[in-house]
Amino acid sequence: MTERIISIKRTTKETDVDVQLNLDGKRELSIETGIGMLDHLLTSLAFHASLDLTLKATGDLHVDDHHTVEDTAIVLGSAFEQAIGDAKGITRFGYAYAPLDEALARTVVDISGRPFAAVDLGLSREFLGALSSENVPHWLETFAFNAKITLHVDVLRGNNDHHRAEAAFKSLALALIQAIRVTTDSSPLSTKGSIGQGTTE
């Protein structure tokens, strides 16, 4: 099997993001964004998806957290899309439920080449630590569009917003494990014969 490993560095006037990603990893993780709650969510995602991930980001946090959140999603999503490559032999679809105490989240994913995201986390607090609650679904949506996947995430219940957010990222991790699993069939799982460019059905 071809190694599914990619490194990407992206520098703008607002952020500097460096990512090394291995889709077939051993949970070797180093994540530093300057936003503790974002580090926590990304660590949970990478750990439960069995990835190797090094992600280091510096950004204009003196302004707010938006650029750093968005750009980490852009770079990690792009790394994911490039590591998947032509998607030959992957399962393609994945779905999972994940609880965290009273919270329960559901994620359904299609590695389709058709970017779309529907995310409903139902967060009510303005902030989770230093992370704006509005930027939690924004991270998921931005990741989906840059990874070129179809993503549906719903938190079905939960009283604690930390639990709701973390359950969502854990359910995404478990769904991705299924979707990126390599099967014995080397053909893309598509009636069109290829995945990408918005052509897959």
Q: Can you list the domains of the chain with their CATH numbers?
A: 5-180 (3.30.230.40)
Q: Measured between alpha carbons, how far is 188 from 155 in angstroms, rounded to an integer?
A: 31
Q: Which amino acid is at 101?
A: D
pLDDT value of position 183: 87
pLDDT > 90 in the chain, percent: 88
CA angle 54, 137, 167 (to 5 degrees): 75
Residue 95 has a pLDDT of 98
**Rounded Cα distance, 169 and 165, in Å:** 7
Q: Among the listed ranges 54-63, 138-147, 168-177, 190-199, which one has the minimum average pLDDT value?
A: 190-199
| Predicted local confidence at residue 100, as pLDDT | 98
- Residue 190, pLDDT > 60, answer no
Q: At what angle do helices 135-147 and 161-180 cross, to 10 degrees?
A: 10
What does pTM read for this prediction?
Answer: 0.91
Among candidates 136, 29, 11, 147, which has minimal Cα distance to 78? 147
